[in-house]
Amino acid sequence: MPTCTNTHTGGQRSKKGGTFSAQPKSVYYALIGLFQVLSLPHLASRAFSTTVRQMKNKVPDCQKVFLEDNGLPIHIKGGTTDVLLYRLTMAITVAGTGFSCYWLLFASFPKSKA
Amino acid sequence: MAHQAHAYHMVDPSPWPLTGAVGALLMTSGLAIWFHFHSMTLMTLGLILLLLTMYQWWRDIIREGTFQGHHTPPVQKGLRYGMILFITSEVFFFLGFFWAFYHSSLAPTPELGGCWPPTGITTLDPFEVPLLNTAVLLASGVTVTWAHHSIMEGERKQTIQSLALTIILGLYFTALQAMEYYEAPFTIADGVYGSTFFVATGFHGLHVIIGSTFLAVCFLRQIQYHFTSEHHFGFEAAAWYWHFVDVVWLFLYVSIYWWGS
């Protein structure tokens, strides 16, 4: 099953931002950082054009998965990962509600003196 | 198989409103428990739950729109109204903090020395890093508009480049502002000047981070071919939000940094 929640972004250069010296509030140092940032696009275009060429359009595959007439609601229609994530979220919801009730009771009664 | 005879979207039953509400409950009660009993567990659980809810809810909206085709023109119109109303509510949120600033600064009390900035406060030079921040955000407004036109013209590579540049500028603003916060000669505890400065600019910074995240999601979606030249509302919503963040900064800069110094 195609992983429609795939967030692959391909190779990205890490930001080579301006080196922040401890010198405070010097526009000069900040502008150097800005010039370094602005030089990124021509570097980024090399990385991004590779990414662009490699990325295949998986939208039609995802459309097939999510338009299948299997009666599943949208939040678990994507497969096993969906179900696991849903169960984890619900578990935290229930446990958290119970936990907050416990703390409410704890906070409601006066502290016993040791 | 039944087919709907209208263009509107009848959503599938979803657990995310409930989990989101419980997440908000846990975060708020958890905050109180942290303050009084020094335990961060409840608040942390709430934060995790909120993040899980946001991820899954917005993932589902993308599925409904991009993969199932539910975002017809009438549905999109509703989404547009929704985003506009949300941004309007955020405008009112910031209006409150500007009200507080002007209330204190237009009639400074004797406790402050009867002047603004108050006695003893060394303000930041508005023509140093704050001016650079202004230029950075204005530039990012240009690059996000460039990205929009690139999407509408079907220019995939240019869209990706301009969107990436917008996000980088947003991150650069955040880094510069973090440096300013660290180096500032006054703190939030320094009277009403400190309070108004850090609460107003702090909430703005949070909105820059939210806006950058929204744009980053759009960046990932653009790479995955989600947007077409005619239909790309997710991006438009992110761009509207980004322009709003930019405008709030301009008001902050003129009022607090410039006039207020």
Write the CATH number for B203.
1.20.120.80
Does A33 share its domain with A63? no
Q: Looking at residue A36, what is its pLDDT?
A: 60
| B83 near A CB under 8 A | no
- Does A13 score more than 60 pLDDT? no
Q: Is residue A113, in this structure, part of any structural domain at all?
A: no
Write the CATH number for B6.
1.10.287.70
Does B130 share its domain with B59? no
> What band does A2 get if pLDDT is binned at 50, 70 and 90?
very low
Does A68 share its domain with A42? no
Give B23: exposed, middle or buried? Use CB within 10 Å, 0-12, 13-18, 19+.
buried
Do residues B49 and B26 lie in contact, with contact meaning Cβ atoms separated by under 8 Å? yes
Q: Looking at residue A55, what is its pLDDT?
A: 84
Q: Looking at residue A6, what is its pLDDT?
A: 42
Q: How many CB pairs under 8 A join A and B?
A: 162
Q: Is residue A66, in this structure, part of any structural domain at all?
A: yes
Written as six digits, the tokens of B55 are 């991820």
Q: How many CB atoms lie within 10 A of CB B147?
A: 29
| B124 near A CB under 8 A | yes
- Whole-angstrom Cα distance, residue B49 to residue B112? 44
| B35 near A CB under 8 A | no
**Average predicted confidence (pLDDT) for chain B:** 97
Contact yes or no for A34 and B136 at CB 8 A: yes
Which helix (H) or strand (E) is B249 found in, with range?
Answer: helix B233-252
Q: How many CB atoms lie within 10 A of CB B26?
A: 29
Q: Looking at residue B44, what is its pLDDT?
A: 97
Domain that holds residue B248: 72-258
Give this complex's ipTM: 0.88
Q: Looking at residue A106, what is its pLDDT?
A: 93
Total domain count, chain A: 2
Domain that holds residue A73: 59-108
| B67 near A CB under 8 A | yes
Best mutation site among A85, A89, A94 for testing chain B: the one with the most B CBs within 10 Å? Answer: A89
CB neighbours of A39 closer than 8 A, spacing ≥ 6?
Answer: none
Q: Looking at residue A34, what is its pLDDT?
A: 63
Residue among B131, B151, B135, B137 at smallest CA distance from B211: B137
Does B94 share its domain with B194? yes
Q: Which residues of A81-101 are buried (b: 16+ CB within 10 A; e: fewer)?
A: ebeebbeebbebbeebeebbe
Best mutation site among B125, B146, B173, B223 for testing chain A: the one with the most A CBs within 10 Å? Answer: B223
Does A24 share its domain with A64? no
Does B143 share its domain with B35? no
Final residue of a structural domain among B49, B70, B91: B70
Peptide bond into B74 cis (omega under 30): no
In which residue ranges of chain B is pLDDT below 50? none
Write the CATH number for A63.
4.10.91.10
Total domain count, chain B: 2
| B175 near A CB under 8 A | yes
pLDDT digits (tens, 9 = 90+) for A15-49: 443 344 444 455 555 566 666 655 554 444 455 55
- Whole-angstrom Cα distance, residue B252 to residue B258? 9
Does A65 share its domain with A38? no
